[in-house]
Structure 1
Amino acid sequence: MTKTIYTILIIMVFVGCSSDPTDSSSATNEIMYFPPLTGNTWETKSISDLKWNQNAVQPLLDYLELKNSKSFIILVNGRIVLEDYFNGHSATTNWYWASAGKTLTSTVTGIAQQENLLNINNKVSQYIGTGWTSETPAQENLITCKNLLTMTSGLDDSTDEVDPANLIYKADAGKRWAYHNVYVKLQDVVAKASGQTWENYFNIKLRDKIGMNGNWIQIGNNSVYTSTSRSMARFGLLMLNKGKWDNTQVLNETYFDEATNTSQNINLGYGYLWWLNGKSNYHLPQSQLTFQGSIIPTGPNDMFMALGKNDQKIYVVPSKKMVIIRMGDAADDVNLALSDFDKTLWSKISALYQ
C-alpha cells in the first residue's frame, strides 16, 4: 500500500512539472529549430498552437501594409509563426539591409578574432596602415577596432564619407559616442588580417554556414548587404542562439555577450553595432543628447536589435525565443535607424501574445 501511494505521488510530481502542450509558455521550452542549409523547407508553428490572440493578427498586418512594409516574419524557437509579403515583394526577392547590416560586420569581426587573425583591442592602423584619417599620428593611434565597433572613434560625424580627408578629429577615441559610417573600416581590417576579400571571408565564415543568400553591393562609400527576408531571419536565429547554428558554434559566446550588451558608458543602448532595448538611457544618430528610458518602451527589455535606414529591422528577444524581421520602405519619413514606427509596431506585436 505504501509503495502504491509512493508511486502515485511520483507520477503526480512528474505530471505537474512537465510542460503542458496547451500552455502558451510551453513554446519557449521547445528545442530550437534550424532550417536546412539548402532548399525552402522551414518548419512552422501556428498562432493557435501558441495560444496567441488570432484577433490581433490582422490589425498587425494592416498596419505593416499601411506603413510601406515589404516583408514581415516572426520566428519562435526558429519556427515561422507569421510570414507575410506586401506591395509586390516575395519570399525570393532580395532587399537591402541598410545599417541593420552593421551587425553582420560586427559578427564577422568577432569570427576573425576567434580565429586569432585580429584583436579588437588593437589599433586600426595596425591592420590597414597609418594615414587612414586626417588626424595626427598620435590621435589616429588611439582608435582601436573596438572603437569602431562601439561608435566611439572620436571622428567628426557631420559627414558619413570615409576617405581620409573627411575623417577629421572631433575628440579622443573613447570619449565621444557618434553614429558614423567609419565602422566599414572593420571590413578592410578583416580583409587585411585574413588575406581574403571581405566578401569571400564573409561568405565562407558566416553566410554559407547558416544557409543565407545575398550579396554586398557598393553604394557610394557604403557597403550594403542585400538578401531575402528569410536570410535575414536566419541571421537573427543565429544570434538568438548566442552565435550557435544547430551544433556549430559560428561565433563564440564570449564575443556574442560583449556584442549584445552595453559596450561603453556613453550610450548605454549600444553594443558592438547592435542596439539594445531596456537600458536606462540611450543616444540617437546625429545627436549628442542623452534620452532617458528604453529605446522602444513598448518592446521587451531584453531585446537587442539590428536597425537600418528606412525601417529595416531585426528584433531578437531571448525571453520570448523570438526573432522578428521587417523589410521595406520608410514607414513614414526617411530615417536613419529608429522612428515612432518601432513603438507602434511593438504595441501591435505584443497584442499577439499578451
Structure 2
Amino acid sequence: MKNSFFIVFIVLTLLWSCSESDNGGMDEPEVTNLYFPPSQSVEWETVSAAALGWDENVEEEIFDFLEEKNTRAFIILKDGKIVIERYFGEHDQNTSWYWASAGKTLTAFSVGLAQEEGLLDINSKTSNYLGEGWTSLSLDKENKINVWHQLTMTSGLDETEFDCITKECLTFIADAGIRWAYHNGPYTLLQSVVANASNMQWKDYFNSRLRNKIGMDGFWFATNDTNNVFFSTARSMARFGLLNLGNGKWNGEVILDDASYRTAMKNTSQNLNKSYGYLWWLNGKQSYRVPAFQTEFQGELIPNAPADTYAGLGKDDQKLYIVPSLGLVIVRMGGDAGDDLLGPSSFDNGLWEKLNEYIN
C-alpha cells in the first residue's frame, strides 16, 4: 500500500510540474561554462563549427539565404564564443544598426533593474510614476493600468495610433488585463516610468545600469517624436543576448539578481498571449498572437526553433534568439526580409530550418 501511494504521489507531482511548464512557470535553466568577451576590446574568442561537430557544408547555404533576405549582420555564439560572424555589403563590425522592437527587451531588463533597486514596483499603478491624467481615460479606468500591463501589452488602451504617447491618443478600448494588443505607446512610456522613478534621464539610467556594465556600445535615438529606438553594433546585441543566456550575470558580476523577475520576463506572462513574456517573444507554447491582429493562432510561434527559444523580434526582421538548451545566442540585423512585419515573420522559421541542418 505504501509503495502504491508513493507511485501515485510521484505521478501527480510530475503531472503538476508539466502543467506548470505549460503555463510558463518554468524555472530558469542554468547555463554553465560560458565565455564572456572583455569590455572595451575587439577580442572575442571563437570556436569552429567542426570542433562542435556541426555541418560546415551548410554554412554557404545559410549565407546565401541571409544575403537573399537583405541581411547586414549575422552572429552565432555557442556558450559565448563566436562560431559565425558575417557581414554583408558595406556593413561591418563597427556599423551601428537599429534594433527596432527587439530593443523592447532592453527596456524590460531595465525595468527589472529599477524594481530591484526599489525605485518602482511593477504591480503599482502607472500613474504613480507618470502622474494622474497620462491617458484620456477616467481616473477609475486609468488607475487600473499598472506597470505590469505595460510590460505585457495588456494596458487595454487603443493601439490604433500605434506610436503615440500623448494623453489624447491613449484612449480606452478595454479594462486593463483583459485584452492583449501590441502597442508601442504604453511600451515607450515604460522608459519615462524608469526615468521618473530614478530621477535620471532614461539613457543615463540605461547606460550606467546595463550598457556600460557589459561592454555594449550603442545609443537611443528618437526616430520620430514618440518612438525611442536603440542603435548598436551586432556584437553589442550579442553581448546583451549573452547576458540573458547567463541569467543576468556577466563574467561573475551579477547585473540583475532578481530571479523571480528574470523568470517571469522569459515565460508566459498572461493567458491572452501565451507566447509573450515581459516584452520577450516565447517559443514552445500552444498558441500565440501577433502585432496588428486580434486572432489567436494555434501552434508554436517558430515551429522549427527549439521549444525553449525566446527572442527579441523587431521590424524589418531585427532578431535576437536565445536558446538555453543549446547555449546559443543568434543575432540578425538588416533590412526587411520580405514580410514587412513588426515582429514575428516567416523569416524566423525559414532561418531555423537551415540552422537545424547546420547545428544538428
Q: Does 1:171 align with 2:174?
A: yes
Could you give the per-residue CA deviations for residues 280-324 of structure 1, whole angstroms, max 9, x where no partner exists? 001011111110010000101000000000000000000000000
Alignment counterpart, residue 318 of structure 2, candidates 299, 303, 312: 312
User: More relative contact order in 1 or in 2 (CA 8 Å, sep 6+)?
Assistant: 2
The whole-number CA distance in structure 2 between the counterparts of 1:288 and 1:334 is: 18
CA shift, 1:246, in A, is 1.2
* Aligned-partner residue type, residue 207 of structure 1: R
Deviation at 1:29, TM superposition (A): 8.4
Q: Which residue of 2 aligns with 1:293?
A: 299
Aligned match of 1:41: 43
Q: 2:273 aligns with which of 254, 258, 267?
A: 267
Distance 1:178 1:333 in 2: 20
- Largest Rg, 1 or 2: 1
1:121 aligns with 2:123: yes
Structure 1 length normalisation: TM-score? 0.91
Indicate the larger mover: 63-72 or 252-261: 252-261
Write out per-residue CA displacement over residues 103-151 of structure 1, whole angstroms, 9 at most, x where no aligned residue.
0000000000000000000000001101111111000000000000000
**Residue of structure 2 in register with 1:67 after alignment:** 69
Could you say if the C-alpha distance between residues 153 and 216 of structure 1 is closer, same or farther in structure 2, counting changes exceeding 3 Å?
Answer: same
What whole-Å deviation, never above 9, does each CA across 1:245-267 have from its counterpart, x for those lacking one? 11111112221101000000100
% identity of equivalent residues? 51
Unpaired segments ≥5 residues, structure 2: 1-29
Match of 1:100 in 2: 102
Per the TM alignment, residue 30 of structure 1 is displaced from its structure 2 partner at its CA by 6.8
Out of 320, 323, 327, which is 1:321 matched to? 327
* Matching of residue 331 in structure 1 with residue 337 in structure 2: yes
- Give me the CA root mean square deviation: 1.1
Matched, 1:211 2:223: no
Report whether the alignment pairs 1:54 with 2:95: no
Aligned residue for 1:85? 87
Give how far 1:333 is off.
Answer: 3.6
Q: Deviations over 1:217-248 (max 9, x none)?
A: 00121000000000000000000111111111
1:243 is aligned to: 248
* Structure 1: 5+ residue stretches without partners: 1-27
How far does residue 201 in structure 1 lie from its aligned partner after superposition?
A: 0.4
Runs of 4+ in 1 over 3 A off after TM superposition: none
Q: How many residues align?
A: 327
2:137 is the counterpart of 1:132: no
- Matched with 1:151 is 153
Which of 284, 288, 292 is residue 282 of structure 1 equivalent to?
288
Distance (Å, rounded) in 1 between the aligned partners of 2:335 and 2:252: 36
In the alignment, which of 183, 190, 196 is matched to residue 194 of structure 2?
Answer: 190
Residues 148-207 of structure 1, C-alpha deviation per residue, up to 9 Å, x if partnerless?
000000000111111111100000000000000121111101101101000000000000
1:38 shift after superposition: 1.2
TM-score (norm 2): 0.90
Q: Deviations over 1:24-57 (max 9, x none)?
A: xxxx987100000111000000011101001111
Asked if structure 1 preserves the Cα contact closer than 8 Å seen for 2:31 and 2:246, the reply is: no
Counterpart residue number, 1:345: 351
SS, match of residue 52 in structure 2: coil
Residue type of the partner of 1:340? S
